[in-house]
Amino acid sequence: MASAPAQQPTLTVEQTRVVLSEVIQAFSVPENAARMDEARESACNDMGKMLQLVLPVATLIQQEVIKAYGFNNEGEGVLKFARLVKMYETQDPEIAAMSTKLKSLLLPPLSTPPIGGAITAS
């Protein structure tokens, strides 16, 4: 028996701020921080391995928070929440800042070439 498709939760800007704040806080819970550290160490800053190892852990941590706000407890719920945050980023600087902070928790820092670098014109 198939269940009816779940309605996408509709959150206001204020509610989105609260949920986003809770998601960010969830990453600092010692158990979750340890899970993320272990996944990052296993990935060795390799983007392909980050997608295989870190992203699933990050998705689970987010799911644990957002399910309380009506998002489904699968990867689809995280994607819907991400789309909602993206929509509000342009309208609300606080959400934009929190979104940037969340992304920094998920992605490895990008290495930049040294200034004055090794590239020379011939």
DSSP letters of 42-79?
HHTT-HHHIIIIIHHHHHHHHHHHHGGGT--SSHHHHH
Close Cβ partners of 51 (under 8 Å, ≥ 6 residues apart): none
Specify the DSSP class assigned to residue 29.
Answer: S
What was the pLDDT predicted at 48? 87
pLDDT, position 5: 47
Tell me the pLDDT tens digit for each residue of 15-72: 999 999 999 999 999 999 999 999 999 988 788 888 899 999 999 999 999 999 999 8
Please report which confidence band the pLDDT of residue 1 belongs to, taking 50, 70 and 90 as the band edges: very low
- Confidence at 106, pLDDT banded by 50, 70, 90: confident
Q: What is the pLDDT of residue 3?
A: 43
Mean local confidence (pLDDT), 98-104: 93
- Average pLDDT, integer, range 62-88: 92
d(CA 27, CA 20): 11
* Tally: H helices and E strands in the chain: 6, 0
Q: Report d(CA 38, CA 54) in Å as an integer.
A: 9
Q: Is the pLDDT of residue 91 over 90?
A: yes
3-state secondary structure of 91: coil
Q: Amino acid letter at 44?
A: C
